[in-house]
């Protein structure tokens, strides 16, 4: 049976893009192949996180399997994907 893919959406809205989202879009450069093959990763418009949290303190936002996370760094994105795989 094929393994379920983790759905990852990186916000490319302005607030997120300028506060680190642009770095996250380089995911192919920093995520290990073993993680990349378990995910479907795409950029997306505003996830709404910046509307409910202070955009300055919360961006960039990333959605992993339907859950929106704030302040996502390269290391945090890697960790979130690992957690989703192990869940
Ligand atoms: S711009 Fe990213 S959540 Fe709104």
Per-domain residue ranges of the chain: 7-86
Spell out the CATH class of 7-86.
alpha beta
Say if residue 1's pLDDT is above 70.
no
Say if residue 4's pLDDT is above 90.
no
Say if ligand 1 is within 6 A of residue 61 CB. yes
Nearest protein Cα to ligand 1, atom 4:
46
Task: Tell me the average pLDDT across 57-72.
Answer: 94
Place 51 in a pLDDT band, splitting at 50, 70 and 90: confident
Write the CB contacts of 21 (distance below 8 Å, at least 6 apart in sequence).
Answer: 10, 11, 12, 13, 59, 60, 61
> Residue 32: what pLDDT?
96
Q: How far is the CA of 24 from the centre of ligand 1 (A)?
A: 14
List pLDDT tens digits, range 10-50.
Answer: 999 999 999 999 999 999 999 999 999 999 999 999 999 99
């Amino acid at each position: 049976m094929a393994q379920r893919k983790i759905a990852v959406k990186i916000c490319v809205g302005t607030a997120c893009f300028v506060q680190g989202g642009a770095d996250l879009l380089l995911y192919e450069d920093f995520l290990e192949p073993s993680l990349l093959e378990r995910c479907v990763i795409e950029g997306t418009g505003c996830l709404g996180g910046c509307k409910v949290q202070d955009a300055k303190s919360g961006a960039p936002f990333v959605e992993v399997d339907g859950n929106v996370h704030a302040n996502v760094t390269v290391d945090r994105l890697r960790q979130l994907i690992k957690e989703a795989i192990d869940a």
